[in-house]
Structure 1
Amino acid sequence: MTLQTPPIKPARFEDGRTFTVAGLGKRYGQATLQQIPTLWHRFEQHIGRVPGQVGEEAYGVCCNGDGKGNFDYIAGVEVQGTEPLPAEFRHVELKARRYAVFEHHGSLDNLKATFQAIWQDWVPVSGETVANAPEFERYGRDFNPNDSHSVMEIWLPLEDK
């Protein structure tokens, strides 16, 4: 039986800027995706107290994919620099580039379905090529993972046309 993917709102296109995200990170695969909320739970206590933190948004960055479904994930915030960060922190620089931006509405329980809709429904017919670059989730300061009215964004990196 195949999982039905929910329809997603049309993507908007944004020219992203260069910035650095720092936080707690770990390597994940398809069998361990369900452990990502635990990483966020560990990171929540740091939000607002990360040295050099910029703004109030939080980011979930997927990077260093191996083409087999394994990737590094960092739950973090934007920072001005990487010194002095706690020793257990990881960081990644997101380069200025073009992105397709998707909104996910509601609780994070359905986030996997939104990602499936992007990759299975949107990407194949979009005419766009996904870049070999980090993709990220952007959570506004008012985001509540249990609120059915919350909205977060998924930024998918694209190759230049």
Structure 2
Amino acid sequence: MDQQTQQPLEPRMEEGKALVIAGVQGRYSKATVGDIPQLWDVFDSCFKEINKRVGGFTYGVCHNPKHDEFDYLAGVEVPAKGDVPSNFEFIEIPAHHYAVFAHYGPVQALPQTYERIMFEWLPHSGYAIAGSDFERYSADFDVSKGIGTVEVWLPVAPE
């Protein structure tokens, strides 16, 4: 077994505040999810243009699912949507109750963490998904190596 499958899948529960995330966005499917790192490369090359950043985290937000596809926004938190430069996309995430999962190992293994959350934890949790999930990358995350602290924030509500 690799390190990822050996880790217990035990989330911490957290009340998340409302967020405005500004960045670059693309549309993906299960077949094209491997292209998300290129989106992060684009974001990494231009995010300094977002002058009003909040905190030291970056975010990967999965939203707008339709027909086995979804939008993915690589971004940073900003104080308000008025603080988003015109050449960037943004998403407003309302305050939610979250199940927060630590991801261990390289970012390339993140799809396996999502599969474990959706197929192992969620069906037995007593919760249902209640909005758009996101990944939160800490300041120690090394984009070039794909390693560092990553958490999956899944908005949940009791079933």
TM-score (norm 2): 0.88
Compute the displacement of 1:147 (Å): 6.1
Compute the displacement of 1:47 (Å): 3.4
The letter of the residue matching 1:29 is S
Compute the displacement of 1:46 (Å): 2.9
The letter of the residue matching 1:62 is C
Identify if the C-alpha distance between structure 1 residues 77 and 86 changes in structure 2 by more than 3 Å, giving closer, same or farther.
same
Give unpaired runs (5+ residues) of structure 1. none
Q: Which residue of 2 aligns with 1:95?
A: 94
The 1-side partners of 2:86 and 2:123 are apart by 41
The letter of the residue matching 1:130 is I
The letter of the residue matching 1:141 is A
User: Comparing both structures, which one devotes a greater share of its residues to helix?
Assistant: 2
Q: Which residue of 2 aligns with 1:38?
A: 38
The answer to whether residue 89 in structure 2 is matched with residue 53 in structure 1 is no
1:8/1:114 contact within 8 Å kept = no
C-alpha RMSD of the superposition: 1.9
The 2-side partners of 1:89 and 1:52 are apart by 13
The 2-side partners of 1:154 and 1:84 are apart by 25
Identify if the C-alpha distance between structure 1 residues 144 and 8 changes in structure 2 by more than 3 Å, giving closer, same or farther.
farther
Percent identity at matched positions?
A: 37
Q: Which residue of 2 aligns with 1:140?
A: 138
Deviates more, 1:133-142 or 1:77-86: 77-86
Give unpaired runs (5+ residues) of structure 2. none
Q: Which residue of 1 aligns with 2:29?
A: 29
Q: Which residue of 1 aligns with 2:105?
A: 106
Q: How many pairs were matched up?
A: 154
Q: Which residue of 2 aligns with 1:9?
A: 9
Q: Which residue of 1 aligns with 2:72?
A: 73
The 2-side partners of 1:44 and 1:82 are apart by 20
